[in-house]
Structure 1
Amino acid sequence: MKENAYGITIIIPIFNEEEGIARLLPAFEEYINSSKFEVKLLLVNDGSTDNSLIEIKKLADHDAYVEYLSFNKNAGLSAAIRAGFERSMTKWVGYIDADLQTDPIDFLKLEAMIPHYDLVTGRREGRKDSTVKKMSSSFANWFRDSMLHDGVHDSGCPLKIMRRSVAMEMPFFKGMHRFFPALALIQGKKVIEIPVKHFPRITGKSKFNLWNRLLSPLQDTLALRWMMKRQSVYTISENSIKRHKAVIHE
């Protein structure tokens, strides 16, 4: 018996991935059957200009655990993920890219850690990307960790699980998906990184270029460092607030 009904929502942002959408359900089958949670898949169509939305609707019509959102125009990866966070109804939320360069079965590795952590992120081992992409990503990760000291080697890995309550407390900005571990640490939450598999892209093409893979993240890193330096920390020693009994759901 599963732990609870729809205990985790996996968010899958999609932008012009019509060729690969039919691969999603077969790729998730083993994870869904093995997970201790009831799993819901939430596909977010980020204003695709191809037939992605048609293919997404086919999946949603086929299986009750598949739902979707669709933007009227492209808003970017961070907006797609954030929309998924906002509309999820589960205690836990996950994220994976539709290109399936990471394997849904590795969510089981992340699940094993969530009793002890608020955010569990993957670390892609043996990355199957181009040399330019790997070098730019490596530099961006080094720069981010040097500035933010989040202790994460692959912050942009598209395989994560976190408490929905933690996700909803994060400030929303374009590019925020690269900084989920640091944003969780700012809240004082516990974060861990787990090695996961990585595969070459089979369908579609990368949506990133030099600007949004390297230059823009460097600017965001500096902005986030400023925000971390400006944190105001306080401790309440006593208070007289009367609390009423209430049931609080995350």
Structure 2
Amino acid sequence: MNTPHLSVVVPVFNEQDNVAPLVAEIVAALRGRAADDGGDFEIVYIDDHSRDGTFAALQRLKASVPELRVLRHATQSGQSTAIRNGVKAARGAWIATLDGDGQNDPADIPKLLAQRAQSPADVKLFAGWRVDRQDSGSKRWASKWANAIRSRMLRDDTPDTGCGIKLFERAAFLDLPYFDHMHRYLPALMQRAGWRTVSVPVHHRHRTAGVSKYNNLDRALVGIRDLRGVAWLIRRSRVTAVEEVEPTPGPGLQR
């Protein structure tokens, strides 16, 4: 396979029934398109040491999906670590991420690519914005509450940081500070690094198989600690432009 322009990174944990349908949707959304529109792509799945048949399902799919690559954690390590390891292994200059539960729609990836094509070069992250959430009322309320607090503390001008579908430059991502749960703060971290971010409305779907791996209380407790840490990182950051100095012509220098 040629070096892909785009790598679709999907972290999964115990999603055996969602693997095949989601891979098929990614292929349908991207295969056959022009290279700049995602047509030259790979799919990188990272199995976070699932305890069900997720890894076996991925192994079977490799025989029929040449774009598919499969990585597996030796121990369960969490979503942020899975995303980072997937990005490190990816060969594309740009990364699209999707949650492995099937609630993100791969058909939105070309929409993010189109937004990138008409944006300035300093926009390094295009974040999905679930304008019509298909979750339970309690989860929607918790997300709204968390987004309001995060926006007030970090001022990242992002209505929905929890959406799993994103498009970002690989090099810019790998230059960010890494910590557990960092995937929830990518807009703020990208802005801290001096880049711009854009939110793009995307679809959101009901989960049709498997169960959610999170509960609202766990997210709230972790989120409070993380918010304080990210706010500290932002306060302590400094972005400075760097210019290389060319030699000045003199008696001993000729151009």
TM over 0.5: yes
Structure 1 range deviating more: 8-17 or 211-220: 211-220
Return the match for 1:173 from 179, 187, 206: 179
**Within 5 A, what are the aligned runs for 1:81-230?**
81-115=83-117, 116=119, 117-230=123-236
Q: Deviations over 1:31-78 (max 9, x none)?
A: 113462311100100010111110011112221100010012210000
CA contact (8 A) 2:104 2:164 kept: yes
Partner Cα distance (1:137, 1:66) in 2:
32
CA RMSD between the two structures: 1.9
Q: SS in structure 1 opposite 2:57?
A: helix
- How far does the alpha carbon of each residue in 1:14-34 deviate from its partner, in whole angstroms, 9 at most, with x for none? 100111112123212331134
Conserved in 2, the CA contact under 8 Å of 1:10 and 1:95? yes
Q: How many residues are matched?
A: 239
Gaps of 5+ in 1: 243-250
Confirm or deny: 8 A CA contact 1:8 1:39 kept in the other structure: yes
Alpha-carbon offset, residue 239 of structure 1: 4.5
> In the aligned structure 2, how far is the partner of 1:86 from the partner of 1:236?
26
Which residue does the alignment assign to 1:248? none
With over 3 angstroms needed to count, the CA separation of the structure-2 counterparts of 1:147 and 1:59, relative to structure 1, is same
| TM-fit CA distance, 1:234 | 4.1
**How far apart, in 2, do the equivalents of 1:217 and 1:167 lie?**
21
The answer on whether the counterparts of 2:41 and 2:92 sit within 8 Å (CA) in structure 1 is: no
* Residue 20 in structure 1 maps to residue 18 in structure 2: yes
What whole-Å deviation, never above 9, does each CA across 1:81-135 have from its counterpart, x for those lacking one?
A: 0001111111101100111111001011100122322110110021110111111
**CA offset digits 1:185-223 (Å, max 9, x no partner):** 011112100000111100011001134322211211111
Flag the 1:112–1:237 CA change in 2: closer, same or farther, 3 A.
closer
The answer for the alignment partner of 2:66 in structure 1 is 64
Match of 2:78 in 1: 76
Give the TM-score of the pair, scaled to structure 2.
0.88
Q: Distance in 2 between matches of 1:199 and 1:231?
A: 37
Taking structure 1 as reference, are residues 133 and 234 closer, same or farther at Cα in structure 2, changes over 3 Å only?
Answer: same
Which amino acid counterpart does residue 159 of structure 1 have in structure 2?
A: I
Tell whether the 8 Å contact from 2:8 to 2:96 is kept in structure 1 after alignment: yes
Write the letter of the residue equivalent to 1:223: G
CA distance in 2, matches of 1:241, 1:121: 42
